[in-house]
Amino acid sequence: MKILSLKPGHDGTIVYLSEGQLMFSLEGEKNSFRRYSAVTVNLFVEAMSYLKELPEVVAVSGWYKGVGPLDNISTVSDSGYDGLDNIISENSTFLGKDIKRFSSSHERSHLMCSYGMSPFEQGRPCYALVWEGVLGNFYKIDEDVNITSLGQVIEDINCDGMFEVYDLNYDQVAKFIYEDNIIAWVQGKYEIGPRALGNRSLLASPFQEEMQARLNQIKKREGYRPIAPICLEEDVSEHFDWSDPSPYMLYFQKLKTDQLKAVTHVDNTARVQTVNSSQNPQLHELLIAFKGLSGFGVMCNTSLNFLGTGFINEMSDLVYYVQQQKLDGFVVNNKFYVAR
């Protein structure tokens, strides 16, 4: 069988096998490229110059999007990283020839590679351990090469011990924000469009100018960029020159107070989002708890995303973001995580 095999992400490699013979193996990092380099267009073109025939199988390794497991932007490519049944095997074409397109998850590839390279005959059942940067797991491989996971050695590698975890208590979270901590706030599904309307937000206290600077630093934005307020709908006319609902943050208002410094732009305006209890009951309740402490049902609200990307939607991305940007904590649905 003639197999062209590509591992696109971390430790990117292009390999060609013909009838069990290794014809070439090119790695992205060789020639003094950075360690862990992905396959580049140049590497692919070079590999194609060595290819003397068309393959029968094109195999692409499952991986995260991105190079390293922690710089992934949530989703996976091909068969992904985790999973024992994640195989793609389908008919396709390659340079005009009918071929089989194959992909296996990274986890399964570890097991199949070690099984295939083991010294004993194929078909003998065995146990296996995968121990690498993300996976730590024991497996059983039976005589038909079915794999069963036997138990994790590494559990929840990214979260273990890094956070104190509480059931969501609005008074506790409001107090945490009132004490000038910045949290990520995740509730339910993310919003359509680019604007955080209370389901994928960074929330913070609205009173200090420094909070605006700190939020812009976290967001890697210019220091002069305004931070929008989110406000109890029933209180909007008290703090802003506005009396209607503004659930989509579409209108500018003059401020009626000089106390909301973190959300007041240089021209004394803000672009408020109002919240009522049917539109976003969780955030409405949090604003009521915050008002109980501060006298203002208003907070800073800005979108929860890496610079230049869409909203965060995976726990692994969120934990990475919280670590990278040094947030003080986060809420995901009914759990509150405080950074240790």
Residues in contact with Fe ion by the rule CB under 5 A: 132
Identify which of residues 130 and 182 has a Cβ nearer to Fe ion in the complex.
130
Select 53 or 132, whichever has its Cβ closest to Fe ion. 132
Q: Is the dihedral of CA 15, 17, 22, 24 positive or negative?
A: negative
CA atoms within 13 A on the CB side of 199: 15
Residue 48 half-sphere exposure toward CB, CA atoms < 13 A: 9
Q: How far is the CB of 135 from Fe ion (least distance, A)?
A: 7
- Of 134 and 168, nearer to Fe ion (C-beta) is 134
Length of the chain: 340
Report, in Å, the least distance between residue 110 CB and Fe ion.
Answer: 6
Is residue 236 a contact partner of residue 242, using CB atoms and an 8 Å limit? yes
CB of 141 to Fe ion, least distance (A): 17
Cβ contact 86:108 at 8 Å = yes
Ranges of beta strands (E only) in 8-79 are 13-18, 21-27, 57-60, 63-64, 76-77
Provide the 8-state DSSP code for 105: -
Q: How far apart are CA 237 and CA 218, in angstroms?
A: 30
Closer residue to Fe ion (CB): 16 or 81: 81
Q: How far is the CB of 130 from Fe ion (least distance, A)?
A: 8
| In 132-245, beta strands by DSSP E | 136-141, 147-152, 163-167, 183-186, 200-204, 229-232
> How many CB atoms are located within 10 Å of the residue 188 CB?
11
Q: How far is the CB of 254 from Fe ion (least distance, A)?
A: 56
Rounded to a whole number of angstroms, the minimum distance from the CB of residue 107 to Fe ion is 8
Indicate the residue among 10 and 271 with the shorter CB distance to Fe ion.
10
Closer residue to Fe ion (CB): 9 or 226: 9
User: Which residue's Cβ has the minimum distance to Fe ion?
Assistant: 132
Which CB, 132 or 156, lies closer to Fe ion? 132
Q: Which token pair is 298?
A: 């208003």
Contact indicator for 219, 213 with CB cutoff of 8 Å? no
Residue among 204, 215, 232, 241 nearest 296 (CA): 232
CB of 60 to Fe ion, least distance (A): 15
